[in-house]
Amino acid sequence: MSENQNSKTAIVAGATGLVGEQLINLLLSSPEYGKVIAVVRKPLAITHQKLEQKVIEFSQLLSELSDIKADHGFCCLGTTIKTAGSKEHQHVIDHDYVVNFARAAYQAGASRFAVVSSIGASASSGNFYLRTKGEMEVDLQQIPFEGLYILQPSFLLGDRKEFRSGEKTGIALMKLLSPLLIGSLRKYRGVLASAVANRMIRAVNSEVKGVQIIRSDEIV
């Protein structure tokens, strides 16, 4: 598809989350994009002349997105085991839905794809969450995007609609500890959700091709 200014179409999954909400707002205000497709389970409570909402059943993601066209894909899907209810369901959301959405975006013509993963993600990790994220990263790299941008933020900072037990305490603690995290420990500093969203957009519109891992301390 054409990549002329104002002609690009972005497709986004995870638009209701902490990063996704910031991302949608930035894309809608960006002169780089003439159309933004939000793939959601329930309609978003916003309207905009650039915004198209695609309400789907995520278990049928590939077939439900078979008729779309896009230039760039963005994925902010992710959950917690508490919200998912089980490790199996969390794996479906954090791995299966992400990979299937990436495949759908590629089939739609997207040449570049940005995704939110996590610091420490590794397919060989003994931690279930980090192993799931790592497996997701490995599988995304099998899709032949011109550019794949994997963001690995540490603790996400921002106002979350969804209440997560202990998160406010964690944010307060992270703000206190951040000045002490220097040198090789900088990557563990908390990062604003808005900064992650902004970095995703900059990445897909950069000159960099291939697979790029963007760690927390590089998200500025």
CATH of the domain at 70: 3.40.50.720
Is 128 inside any structural domain?
Answer: yes
Average pLDDT, rounded, for the chain? 87
In a domain, 3, yes or no: no
Q: In this model, does residue 105 exceed pLDDT 60?
A: yes
In this prediction, residues 102-112 reach a mean pLDDT of 97
| Residues designated catalytic | 129, 133
> Residue 220's pLDDT band (boundaries 50, 70, 90)?
confident
Per-residue pLDDT at 15 exceeds 90? yes
Whether the pTM exceeds 0.85: the reply is yes
Structural domain count, the chain: 1
Q: Is residue 178 part of a domain?
A: no
The residue with greater pLDDT, 58 or 158, is: 58
Write out pLDDT tens, residues 46-82.
Answer: 999 999 999 999 999 999 999 999 999 999 999 888 9
> What is the predicted pLDDT for the residue at 106?
98
Range of the domain at 115: 8-163+191-215
User: Is 184 contained in some domain?
Assistant: no
How sure is the predictor about 153, in pLDDT bands with cuts at 50, 70 and 90? very high
Any domain includes 1: no
Of 97 and 174, which is predicted with more confidence? 97
How would DSSP label each residue in 89-143? Answer: HHHIIIIIIHHHHHHHHHHTT--EEEEE--TT--TT-SSHHHHHHHHHHHHHTTS
